[in-house]
Amino acid sequence: MINKSFSIPLFEGDVFIPERFSKRIWQYSNDEPGMDLSNQNGYHSMLNPPGFRSEVLRMIDDINLPFRYLLENFWFNINTPGAFNWDHDHPGSDLSGVIWIQVPPNSGNLVFRNPYAFQMDNLCYKFPPSLKKELLLASDLQSKPSEGRGIVFPSFLMHHVEVNESSDNRISVSFNLKV
């Protein structure tokens, strides 16, 4: 028997994207300056862009989280070809998430770092592949983005976004929650 302890929850769900939502984000990005955080060569909007909050809340509701939450803030990301996001976390929040609005093929995965990887390094190499798979022993977990999909994760979880190797823009809405 294997007791799987100390799991890290990831909540995923399908999300209804309002018509013309990506066009509205694109227009906003043309009119408003962005900010540099983890993004490289892409656009990261200022926090809480006006006129979008109710739609973002409805999209988060579509993920069907099993608890009540408060939306702290949200922002838009436009990863142009060649853009990516460095490893980062979201200190001060309980949960963070992303909703993919426009996802061309080969536009980069969301990669979560295993917070226990250093402590379990030897086990990750010595355990047989079947046991590693059953226990999810890996140094990272890759989530392939798809349009109309959302994922919510603990804010302490280090993650990055791979390089957009497509010839089109990937657009997403990211957010932080308190529970």
**Cα-Cα-Cα-Cα dihedral of 130, 154, 166, 44, to 10°?**
-170
Question: Does residue 4 form part of some domain?
Answer: no
> Is the pLDDT confidence value at 118 over 70?
no
> Is the pLDDT confidence value at 179 over 90?
yes
> Is the pLDDT confidence value at 137 over 80?
no
Lowest mean pLDDT among 22-31, 34-43, 156-165: 34-43
Structure tokens given for 5? 């302890």
pLDDT value, residue 3? 72
Question: Does residue 122 form part of some domain?
Answer: no
Q: What is the pLDDT of residues 46-73, one digit of tens each?
A: 999 999 999 999 999 999 999 999 999 9
Question: Does residue 1 form part of some domain?
Answer: no
Q: How many domains are there within the chain?
A: 1
Whichever domain contains 158, its CATH number is 2.60.120.620
Q: What is the Cβ-side half-sphere exposure of residue 164, based on CA atoms within 13 angstroms?
A: 25
